[in-house]
Amino acid sequence: MPHRAKTMTDIAKECGVSQSTVSLVLSNNPRISEDTRSKVLAAIQRTGYRPNIHARGLATNASRVFSVVLPDLENVFAEEYFGTLLGGIYAGASAAGYKVVVDVANMKFIRTQEYMDLLNSRRADGMIFLGSSLYDKYLVSLEGGGLRVMLVDNYFLDAKLSYVASDHKAAGRLAAEHLLKLGHRRIGLITGTNVQTAQDFLEAAEQTLKAAGIPVEDTPWADGRFSEAKACEAAGSLLAARPDLTAIIAGNDKMALGVMRCAREKGIRVPDDLSVIGMDNVRSAGAASPGLTTVDPHLNNVGLFVARKMLAWMHGEFETCAETLPVDLVVRQSTARPRG
């Protein structure tokens, strides 16, 4: 370790002023003379002084830190969905002088109620939960209580927890409409479960198909569990039971890729024999599969929006937040066409 870090008092001595004057300069208080201000600022420059973050936090009872909580999945940091959201959040937070700490909602985190720690200990001013599920009942206990907790792409019907989510209902509808417009009438659905937005997506798609006069029994569903492997399996059983399907709607990009892999393995051409349309497009999905039509939630913007919303929340601009962000259909090529 070097010598002791410089403190306000050091700066004050150097300038022959009081420590509180230095503090006032640092907080841009207008009632400081230009003379003093520049003298102090010069000394700060010269000495490389930086305010001690802990002292400041202690005095202000705030940390200017957001915690981003990821689900306990294998290699979750390497997943594009979470990484893209995290990047957006980082950008938004960073622009406002906030830091981002990462956390994983593993068993220890939940059992020891680390989520309470983070806020009680003032390590973070707010928490952002990515990839939470409806099984995460502990989240409901965070309702009210004045804690700044926000869910992303999930929410609870029976709790007023703040959230920001892509418009999954619109996504489901857009996906279905697109396929209908192309003439498809036999459409399978593969989505995740136990996330409210996934259910919204599913319902909207089903609803749209039903409204178009397609009987519910012609619209089979299977659980893709948000994973490529599971979706591949799911697509397999769907296609086996219903070889008449001409299209499949998948709840996210990974599941869409799973469907496409399944098709490939079965020798079904995509998108000639089958059309696939997926949600949560992150660039790799589209790039890897030019034939895939997607509904793009603009994840990067979602992240940015989440950060901004958190900041506004800090400023007390609202009590609870329930925001839904627009999504767009992205047709990469004139691909999907109904079979014979």
Interaction site with its own copies (CB under 8 A): 1-2, 5-6, 48-58, 63, 65, 75-80, 83-84, 86-87, 90, 94, 99-104, 113, 116-117, 120-123, 145-147, 282-284, 288, 300
- Contacted by 77, from its own copies, DNA, none: CB < 5 to 8 Å by type: its own copies
User: How near is the Cβ of 26 to DNA at its closest, in Å?
Assistant: 5
Binding residues for DNA (CB under 7 A): 4-9, 16-21, 23-24, 26-27, 31-33, 35-37, 49-52, 55-56, 58-61
User: Is 32 or 76 the residue whose CB approaches its own copies more closely?
Assistant: 76
Q: Find, among 142, 4, 157, 5, the residue nearest to 67 by Cα.
A: 142
- Contacted by 33, from its own copies, DNA, none: CB < 5 to 8 Å by type: DNA
Which two structure tokens, joined as six digits, stand for 335?
């691909």
User: How near is the Cβ of 321 to its own copies at its closest, in Å?
Assistant: 16
User: Is 42 or 55 the residue whose CB approaches DNA more closely?
Assistant: 55
Q: What SS3 string covers 84-129? A: HHHHHHHHHHHHCCCEEEEEEECHHHHHCCHHHHHHHCCCCCEEEE
Determine if residue 291 is left, alpha or beta; phi over 0 gives left, psi from -120 to 50 gives alpha, anything else beta.
alpha
- Contacted by 330, from its own copies, DNA, none: CB < 5 to 8 Å by type: none
- Contacted by 300, from DNA, its own copies, none: CB < 5 to 8 Å by type: its own copies
Q: Name the phi and psi angles at 260, rounded to 5.
A: -65, -35
Helix/strand/coil percentages in the chain, nearest 5? 45, 15, 40
User: Is 44 or 151 the residue whose CB approaches DNA more closely?
Assistant: 44
Residue type, 161: L
- Contacted by 244, from DNA, its own copies, none: CB < 5 to 8 Å by type: none
Under a CB-based contact definition with an 8 Å cutoff, are residues 196 and 206 in contact?
A: no
SS3 (DSSP) at 294: strand
